[in-house]
Amino acid sequence: MTVGLVIVSHSVRIAEGVVELAAQMAPSITMAAAGGTDDGGIGTSFDKVQAGFAGADSGDGVVVLCDLGSAVLTAETALDFAEAPERIRIADAPIVEGAVAAAVAAESGADLERVLAAAQDQAPAAGASAAAPAASGAAAVLEVELANEHGLHARPAAELVRTASGFDAQVTVNGVDAKSMLRVLALGLDRGTVARFEATGAQATEAIAAIEALAAEGFGE
């Protein structure tokens, strides 16, 4: 089971489009589009959001992304009537970037609080389950000149994040957390740029070896 996502928008097409985009990066994650009013107009629907909560929750919880203020109010109202409100988190995050980052984190096996943190691009809340801090030691380092036509854009960045997240190690690329989709994308690494990967911790060597293999395959492209 994995954490699911619900996308709440005033527009049916926006909600469905965000789900479609996020699914390109994380095809195994259950996502529900709760867009528009009950008759398909512009607005939000309590019933659609409530159905989205039920449809996206496989048992590990749901992270909700909203587009505008009244969408948040609708989601909060639906949360008040949810059967398991403790398994639902409403993210304070941009709907598109947050959904993509959350979906990649969920597909990497992150729990509810870490998926929420990925959407909001922050550390998990105090008390949330998390991997133990990586052991100190010399860093394993890899430098790669990016050959992808569009550099480290969304799809290859998602592959990198999934790969880095699979190891008990702190991994960075050009100084930012390689397990954060939003931070990797913010680097804007184009074709021909040298990406410097560093890893420390119990599985640092394995993490760098996996990234080297991924880079040799064009980061999945």
Residues 4, 7, 10, 22: which is the catalytic one? 10
10 flagged as catalytic: yes
One CATH from 3.40.47.10, 3.40.1000.10, 3.90.1150.10, 3.30.1340.10 for 140-216: 3.30.1340.10
Could you tell me which residue, 22 or 123, shows the higher pLDDT?
A: 22
Using an 8 Å Cβ cutoff, are 49 and 81 in contact? no
Domain ranges for the chain: 4-120, 140-216
CATH superfamily of the domain spanning 4-120: Phosphotransferase system, mannose-type IIA component (3.40.50.510)
Q: With 50 as the cut, is the pLDDT of residue 128 above it?
A: no
Confidence label for 87 from pLDDT (cuts 50, 70 and 90): very high
pLDDT above 90 covers what percent of the chain? 85
Chain segment 103-123, per-residue pLDDT in tens: 999 999 999 999 999 999 875
Q: With 70 as the cut, is the pLDDT of residue 207 above it?
A: yes
CA distance 49 to 35: 8
Chain segment 174-202, per-residue pLDDT in tens: 999 999 998 999 999 999 999 999 999 99
Beta-carbon contacts of residue 58 (< 8 Å; ≥ 6 apart): 1, 2, 4, 30
**Minimum mean pLDDT among 47-51, 70-74, 148-152: which range?**
148-152
Confidence label for 213 from pLDDT (cuts 50, 70 and 90): very high
| 3-class state of residue 31 by DSSP | strand
Percentages helix, strand, coil for the chain, rounded to the nearest 5?
40, 15, 40
Longest dimension (CA), the chain: 60
Three-state secondary structure string covering 68-102: CHHHHHHHHHHHHCCCCHHHEEECCCCHHHHHHHH
Q: With 80 as the cut, is the pLDDT of residue 135 above it?
A: no
Using an 8 Å Cβ cutoff, are 184 and 157 in contact? yes
Which alpha helices (DSSP H) does 26-177 contain, by range? Answer: 46-56, 69-80, 95-107, 112-120, 154-165
CA distance 153 to 182: 11
What is the pLDDT at residue 197? Answer: 97
Q: With 90 as the cut, is the pLDDT of residue 137 above it?
A: no
Chain segment 59-82, per-residue pLDDT in tens: 999 999 999 989 999 999 999 999
Q: With 70 as the cut, is the pLDDT of residue 160 above it?
A: yes
